[in-house]
């Protein structure tokens, strides 16, 4: 999860955090990043889209948390 204080919204902080995580994950040998976020959380979904995540199509229902959406980003070769 990525949390940014509201006074820092729309300044690129969230995108910078996600992109730094992607770079670190690549160095560690990971090939995919994934995140679940609220279906109605347009701000978070826009952040993840800008960073390169795409919907996987997976859905689930979590009691009290609504309907999260699963997003993935391929960052390496899946056949490695």
pLDDT tens readout for residues 19-48 = 999 999 999 999 999 999 988 899 999 999
Give residue 80's pLDDT: 53
By DSSP bridging, strand 68-74 and strand 54-59 are antiparallel
Write out the two tokens for 26.
Answer: 């690549």
Contact indicator for 34, 21 with CB cutoff of 8 Å: no
pTM: 0.82
């Amino acid at each position: 999860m990525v949390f940014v204080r509201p006074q820092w919204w729309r300044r690129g902080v969230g995108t910078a955090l996600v992109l730094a995580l992607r770079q670190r994950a690549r160095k560690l040998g990971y090939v995919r990043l994934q995140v679940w976020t609220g279906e109605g959380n347009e701000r978070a979904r826009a952040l993840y889209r800008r960073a390169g995540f795409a919907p996987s199509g997976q859905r689930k229902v979590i009691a009290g948390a609504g309907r999260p959406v699963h997003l993935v980003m391929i960052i390496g070769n899946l056949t490695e």
